[in-house]
Amino acid sequence: MSYSSRERMVVPGEVLGAAEEYVVEQGVYIDEQGLLRASVAGRLVIDPRSKTVRVVPVKVPRLPRQGSTSLGLVVQVRHDLVVLDLYGEVSPDPAPRWLYEYDSPLTGGIPISMVTKEYVEDLHDYFRPGDLVLARVLNNTTPYTLTTKPPQYGVVYALCSRCGAQMQPLNPRSMKCPRCGRVENRKVSVLASSKLLRINIRRFLVYRR
């Protein structure tokens, strides 16, 4: 069995050739029949000069996981659903910190029943477009379903609708503008006042501009 020097994509378990012809490197193993097989999904690289064969793993996309905490930007508030672009994952405890960004923005939604434990009449009293929100992920597939019921979830960054200044947490249900004094309703995360999280959010916002 001979090899081609051309690179191609392979999947785990795929037969790559006979063991006696090449030296095995990363991402390749020899099975009981003496065949070379890929141990990971990736790019097959064969070097005819050094007689080596290896599989370079493809980058595994970073995606939300059930039970994880995501940071998202509110893009739309409907009568029964808050739609967000999800940008990355945050660890809420023991101290809130930014973990990583997703490879690209992902779509998530907070159903009206998942916003809070209290009765919700108007979602605009809890979220507004442009808010940055921490939410817990409830499933493993897109579009991701989210919840902000626990106190650590909710709005962590919002701008005043009157003057555009960054609002400060006032209580679990409202934020106040330090510039003009305007008070607006929100579902506020208890982590909104965390200096550690606030620093990361500022870096995130600068990066996304």
- pLDDT tens-digit readout, 97-139: 888 888 889 999 999 999 999 999 999 999 999 999 999 999 9
Span(s) in the chain for CATH 2.40.50.140 = 69-208
How many angstroms separate the CA atoms of 83 and 176, rounded?
24
127: exposed, middle or buried (C-beta count within 10 Å: 0-12, 13-18, 19+)?
A: buried
pTM over 0.75: no
- CATH number for the region 69-208 comes to 2.40.50.140
pLDDT of residue 196: 62
Give the dihedral of Cα atoms 14, 16, 22, 24; nearest 10 deg. -20
Encode the chain (209 residues) as per-residue pLDDT tens digits.
Answer: 444 445 788 888 899 888 888 899 989 999 989 899 998 888 999 888 888 999 988 877 788 999 999 999 999 999 999 999 999 999 888 778 888 888 889 999 999 999 999 999 999 999 999 999 999 999 998 889 999 999 999 999 999 999 999 999 999 999 999 999 999 999 999 999 877 666 566 665 655 54
pLDDT of residue 121: 95
Angle at 73 between CA 154 and CA 202, to 5 degrees: 85
> Which residue shows structure tokens 């607006």?
184
pLDDT of residue 155: 97
pLDDT of residue 1: 40
Fold of 8-57: OB fold (Dihydrolipoamide Acetyltransferase, E2P) (2.40.50)
Q: In this structure, are residues 134 and 187 in contact, taking their beta carbons and an 8 Å threshold?
A: no
- How distant, in Å, are the alpha carbons of 1, 86, 144, 152 from that of 107? 47, 6, 6, 21
How many angstroms separate the CA atoms of 24 and 32, rounded?
15
Q: In this structure, are residues 91 and 133 in contact, taking their beta carbons and an 8 Å threshold?
A: no
- How distant, in Å, are the alpha carbons of 109, 119, 136, 146 from that of 82? 5, 16, 14, 9
pLDDT of residue 3: 43
pLDDT of residue 199: 57
Q: Over the chain, what is the mean pLDDT?
A: 88
pLDDT of residue 69: 96
pLDDT of residue 209: 46
> Which residue shows structure tokens 């097959």?
44
Span(s) in the chain for CATH 2.40.50.100 = 8-57
pLDDT of residue 41: 84
- pLDDT tens-digit readout, 149-160: 999 999 999 999
